[in-house]
Amino acid sequence: MSIIQTLCSFNEEAMSTDQFFGVIPPTTTPFSAEGEILYNQLGAQIDWMVGSGVHGICVGGSSAEGHTLDANELQRLLETSRDVLAGRVPLIAGIIINSTRQAVDRSKMAREAGAVALQVTPPHYVFRPSDDALVDHFRAIADESGLPVLIYNVVPWCYLGPALLKRIMTEVPGVIGVKQSNSDLKLTADLMLDLPEGKLVFTAVDALLYPSFALGVHGTIAANPAAAPKAVVKLWDLVKEGKHTEAKALHADLLRFWNALITDDLPANIKYAQSLQGVPFALPRAPMKAPDEARKALIADALKAIPH
């Protein structure tokens, strides 16, 4: 069997979307003061997340400062995560890179390192490719990696509207869905309208997880689940059970928590919130900085109100 046939066969088996749902927190990447990755701290974070009831793990995304990672660092993070997870929940790799060639190379590496799906940003530098070029970009990644792809729709100057997203999902079978990150909930609602059969919409609109869940999104991959996975899993379960009064009350507390987190140096704030729940504290990679004492107090106070 040729390499192309092998990848196509793998792709057909991997296209089932049943395993991707619910609360999938992105890990943070633990760095030393010198900016070196503390790989031996990652396992405690992953075990804590899995113990909180999450339905998957994403490694190398924006909360992980994935834009700062070189390919070898991402590979080792994925391999470490694969070994710690031991198949307990799916492992998704974040791919944040600017060229199709680099994205394909990282995606193939992610597959070899144990990822079962990819979360891929559009090119994130200042020049936007054409719609046709973006279709070709995601087609190359899906076809050549043999892994299902979620488009991480987060780049402001390369934002993909609902029509283009639906076109890509229709024309590229390997693109199984989108992680919607704009704060305008209408864009998520528009994306849910006439969504191609079998495709998925995940939300990263941290302030609006409850209404997103109520709209019927398939799950969330976002910063709040990384900082407070147990609370977000509870919110997911409450909405699924139709307990909207309780869900709205938890939404209010999670919104206050999010308002304490969302500032400059967000990944560092997530790490601090994690450290209050037993995860070893680690620093961000420069130029980001750890939160100051005032921010720490806000995060700690808001955390007290939610399950953790």
Chain centroid to CA 230: how far? 16
Residue 262 lies in a domain: no
Domain count, the chain: 1
Residue 166 lies in a domain: yes
Cα dihedral value 91, 104, 188, 200, nearest 10: -50
pLDDT in tens, 187-196: 999 999 999 9
Residue 263 lies in a domain: no
Residue 78 lies in a domain: yes
CB 104 within 8 A of CB 145: yes
Name the percent of the chain lying above pLDDT 90.
91
pTM: 0.93
Task: Write down the pLDDT at residue 294.
Answer: 97
If phi > 0 it is left, if psi is from -120 to 50 it is alpha, else beta; for residue 198 that is left
Task: Write down the pLDDT at residue 103.
Answer: 97
Range of the domain at 156: 3-14+21-240
Q: What is the mean pLDDT of residues 262-274?
A: 97
Residue 292 lies in a domain: no
Residue 300 lies in a domain: no
Residue 155 lies in a domain: yes
Q: Is the pLDDT of residue 10 over 50?
A: no
Task: Indicate the pLDDT class of residue 18, thresholds 50, 70 and 90.
Answer: confident
138/150 Cα distance (integer angstroms): 10
**CATH code for position 94:** 3.20.20.70
Task: Indicate the pLDDT class of residue 285, thresholds 50, 70 and 90.
Answer: very high
Residue 231 lies in a domain: yes
pLDDT in tens, 239-260: 999 999 999 999 999 999 999 9
pLDDT in tens, 153-177: 999 889 999 999 999 999 999 999 9
The DSSP code sequence of 37-78 is B-GGGHHHHHHHHHHTT-S-EEESSTTTTGGG--HHHHHHHH
